[in-house]
């Protein structure tokens, strides 16, 4: 049977050489196919979405037909942008210079990362990332042609001394960091380290790209000051976040705080790529937020996810004794990071755990720059897992670690 046109000679170098499939998506699909207890999902739990509030917020949006036209402002609905800027200032995330006009509305946090990549990365550009870091961001940077260098990290995130050793040897375009409850490690950088890293950015003259989607999912007090706020009038920090964790990921609504020198470049990127999120959607979300007790919403989420974190942590402490597996207990977010010295092929082990024990985890390797993969690591997420379900799943996982053989 004829196969049709191959397009082999038409694929770009980027499509041929730099596009990658999602290891997280592949593992999540396998867990679903096997009907396993899944610790793979790094996403919010649907039972916590504000469904009724969203229904109410969207009731009147079609009363203004102008929202169905092309937008007059490609940076997004100004009322929503001003709400975001005010909220960030109230919560100590943004310094005084940030206003609504400095906010760019994006199709989720992912588009913000992609736009910054296009604006700042040339093929061969060197960027620094935490080791490990968010796999989809790594994929986006590599797609643009970046050379990603991992900065050694410990339980407090990036190690400033190790970062300076890299800076002495290489000129970098920017540092990408997830400072709060990082995906995948759950780590949070303390204030002292943030100040040291910011000083290095000033001394070696590069910007910081701060990704902060988990800020409001803190279960033990308020997170340290953001890089954006700490930098103040220096304005060398690009900040991105989204409503995926506080409202719902399917809304695909995020934002960038754009330093003035980047305004024109990002505006041009927005126009060349098409328009941002639909005006109707932005208006509905603004209606929701302007009539919502956002602090109460954050507390509701914190209470629910704290219970799930505690359930997963208790199950790990209970069942993993004697397996040689070590895990952390994050102060917020969705993720627990694990390590097994005995397992040297974590993808193979993860497949074994799904197929033989009915429990799904994510191997840690894809979260590292290519030359720095740690084959002993794995990630589990408790966001969609009740304490009872966590206990059974971890029991199965511990059994898998005890029985798995690599020879």
pLDDT at 72 over 80: no
Closest CA to 257 of 132, 388, 105, 359: 105
Domains and CATH numbers, the chain: 13-41+296-403 (3.90.1150.10), 51-292 (3.40.640.10)
Give the model's confidence band at 143: pLDDT under 50 very low, under 70 low, under 90 confident, else very high: very high
Give pLDDT tens digits for 240-296. Answer: 999 999 999 999 999 999 999 999 999 999 888 777 788 899 999 999 999 999 999
- This model's pTM is above 0.75: yes
Please state which of the ranges 65-79, 131-145, 187-201, 295-309 shows the lowest mean pLDDT: 65-79
What does the alpha-carbon distance between residue 110 and residue 136 come to, in Å, rounded to a whole number?
8
Backbone φ and ψ for 206, nearest 5 degrees, come out as -145, 160
Burial (Cβ within 10 Å: 0-12, 13-18, ≥19) of residue 52: exposed
Alpha-carbon separation of residue 398 from 228, 278, 316, 358, 383 (angstroms): 41, 46, 8, 12, 20
Give the model's confidence band at 8: pLDDT under 50 very low, under 70 low, under 90 confident, else very high: confident
Find the helix packing angle between 160-169 and 191-204, rounded to 10°: 10
Closest CA to 39 of 30, 49, 52: 30
Judge contact between 124 and 254, C-beta under 8 A. no
What does the alpha-carbon distance between residue 160 and residue 195 come to, in Å, rounded to a whole number?
10
Question: Mean pLDDT for the chain?
Answer: 92
């Amino acid at each position: 049977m004829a196969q049709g046109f191959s397009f082999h000679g038409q694929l770009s170098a980027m499509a041929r050489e730099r596009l990658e499939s999602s290891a997280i998506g592949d593992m999540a699909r396998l867990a679903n196919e096997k009907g396993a207890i899944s610790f793979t999902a790094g996403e919010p739990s649907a039972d916590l979405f504000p469904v009724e509030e969203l229904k109410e917020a969207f009731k009147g949006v079609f009363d203004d037909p102008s929202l169905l036209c092309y937008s007059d402002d490609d940076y997004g609905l100004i009322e929503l942008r001003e709400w975001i800027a005010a909220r960030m200032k109230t919560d100590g995330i943004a310094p005084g210079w940030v206003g609504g006009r400095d906010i760019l509305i994006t199709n989720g946090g992912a588009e913000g990362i992609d736009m910054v990549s296009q604006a700042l990365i040339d093929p061969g550009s060197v960027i620094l990332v935490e080791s490990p870091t968010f796999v989809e961001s790594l994929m986006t940077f590599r797609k643009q042609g970046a050379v990603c260098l991992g900065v050694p990290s410990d339980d407090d995130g990036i190690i400033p001394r190790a970062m300076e050793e890299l800076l002495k040897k290489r000129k970098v375009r920017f540092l990408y960091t997830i400072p709060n409850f990082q995906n995948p490690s759950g780590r949070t950088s303390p204030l002292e380290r943030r100040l040291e890293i910011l000083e290095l950015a000033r001394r070696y003259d590069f910007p910081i790209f701060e990704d902060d989607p988990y800020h409001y999912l803190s279960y033990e007090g308020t997170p340290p000051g953001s890089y954006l706020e700490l930098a103040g009038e220096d304005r060398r920090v690009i900040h991105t976040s989204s409503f995926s964790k506080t409202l719902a990921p399917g809304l695909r609504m995020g934002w960038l705080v754009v330093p003035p020198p980047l305004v024109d470049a990002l505006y041009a990127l927005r126009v060349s790529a098409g328009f941002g999120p639909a005006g109707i959607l932005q208006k509905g979300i603004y209606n929701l937020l302007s009539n919502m007790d956002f602090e109460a919403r954050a507390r509701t989420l914190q209470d629910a996810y704290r219970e799930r974190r505690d359930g997963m942590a208790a199950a790990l402490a209970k069942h993993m004794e004697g397996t040689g597996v070590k895990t952390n207990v994050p102060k917020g977010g969705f993720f627990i990071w694990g390590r097994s010295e005995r397992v040297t092929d974590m993808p193979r082990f993860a497949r074994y755990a799904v197929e033989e024990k009915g429990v799904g985890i994510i191997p840690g390797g894809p979260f590292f720059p290519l030359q720095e993969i740690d084959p002993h690591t794995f990630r589990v997420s408790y966001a969609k897992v009740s304490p009872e379900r966590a206990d059974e799943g971890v029991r199965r996982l511990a059994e898998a670690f005890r029985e798995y053989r690599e020879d």
